[in-house]
Amino acid sequence: MVIFITGISSGFGLATARLLSQEGHVVYGTVRREVSKLPGVHYLQLDVRDARAVQDAVRQIVEKEGAVDVLVNNAGMGIGGPLEFATEEEIQLQMETNFMGLVHCVDAVLPYMRRQKRGKIIALSSIGGLMGLPFQGFYSASKFAIEGYCEALRLETRGMGVQVVVLRPGDFSTGFTGSRKKVGNEEALRAYPQYQVALEKVEHDELSGLKPEVLAGKIGRIVTMRHPRNGYVVASLEQRLSVFLKRVLPARWFDWVLGSYYKLS
């Protein structure tokens, strides 16, 4: 299969590109800067926020390979901090990378997939796309947007041979923790003294989380499934339980559970 993966310089993208290439797939992946290259993987230097660059890249893949069978939309970033202290530029960066990046990629591959009458779109959301995470509010907002977009996309492309699958990772040990943009000004820390405690909890969970190869393996299996589910939660037992509780508990009770977990009460 011909697979287009966004954001393969590290973390999930790197592990997924390595695995799928080793399994014999033709893998194209995007990076924003020069990186050490995996053998057998085709690198495309672009930013998913640039719609024209994404269109050009997909066109080149189709001209060379004849098709794009699978899109794995992985590229993303995160902002940590109180919502009111995020700058307009940070909010735009968050939403344009995580959400509009997906839109640009889908817009680029979907005409070919419709023509082929086959294709698979795998979008990385997060358990933060199922619940609003304190001090990661705009990250959650970007993932909520992915959830709604993919639900609509799945319905619109029903019967066209296009499958849309959403993956919701929990905490994983990747470079994401170190690259998170964090609000650090004194006014924010004074106004929200609980922010630092919550952030330490977040980073501890991420650094002790699952390895990216776990998610890569899940993606590898989904790529070859004839009838994958609409979505999967890939997380620790505790975090899978939190997703279940979100579904079954009254909203006020779940707010208390989540607040207690992040030591907000």
pLDDT in tens, 73-131: 999 999 889 999 999 999 999 999 999 999 999 999 999 999 999 999 999 999 999 99
SS3 category, 170 = coil
Asked if residue 264 is part of any domain, the answer here is no
Asked if residue 13 is part of any domain, the answer here is yes
Range of the domain at 162: 2-237
To the query of whether residue 143 is one of the catalytic residues in this protein, the response is: yes
Asked if residue 40 is part of any domain, the answer here is yes
Whether the per-residue pLDDT at 191 is higher than 70: the answer is yes
Q: Please report the pLDDT score of residue 264 as a whole number.
A: 84
pLDDT, average across residues 231-252: 94
Q: Please report the pLDDT score of residue 176 as a whole number.
A: 67
pLDDT, average across residues 163-174: 92
Q: Please report the pLDDT score of residue 265 as a whole number.
A: 65
Residue 24 CA: distances (Å) to CA of 58, 59, 227, 228 = 20, 22, 21, 20
SS3 category, 91 = helix
Q: Please report the pLDDT score of residue 171 as a whole number.
A: 86
Asked if residue 252 is part of any domain, the answer here is no
Asked if residue 108 is part of any domain, the answer here is yes
- Count Cβ neighbours within 10 Å for each residue of 100-131 and write b for 16 or more, e otherwise: bbbbbbbebbbebbeebeebbbbbbbbbbbbb
Asked if residue 248 is part of any domain, the answer here is no
**Number of domains within the chain:** 1
Alpha helix segments (H runs only) across 23-136? 51-65, 88-95, 101-116
To the query of whether residue 21 is one of the catalytic residues in this protein, the response is: no
Q: Which of 28, 112, 139, 149 is catalytic?
A: 139
Residues 6+ apart with CB under 8 A from 248: none
To the query of whether residue 139 is one of the catalytic residues in this protein, the response is: yes
Asked if residue 247 is part of any domain, the answer here is no
Q: Is the pTM of this model over 0.95?
A: no
Q: Which of 112, 126, 140, 143 is catalytic?
A: 143
Q: What is the CATH number of the domain that holds 70?
A: 3.40.50.720
How many residues in the chain? 265
H-helix or E-strand spanning residue 27 = strand 26-31
Asked if residue 201 is part of any domain, the answer here is yes
Q: Which of 125, 140, 142, 242 is catalytic?
A: 125
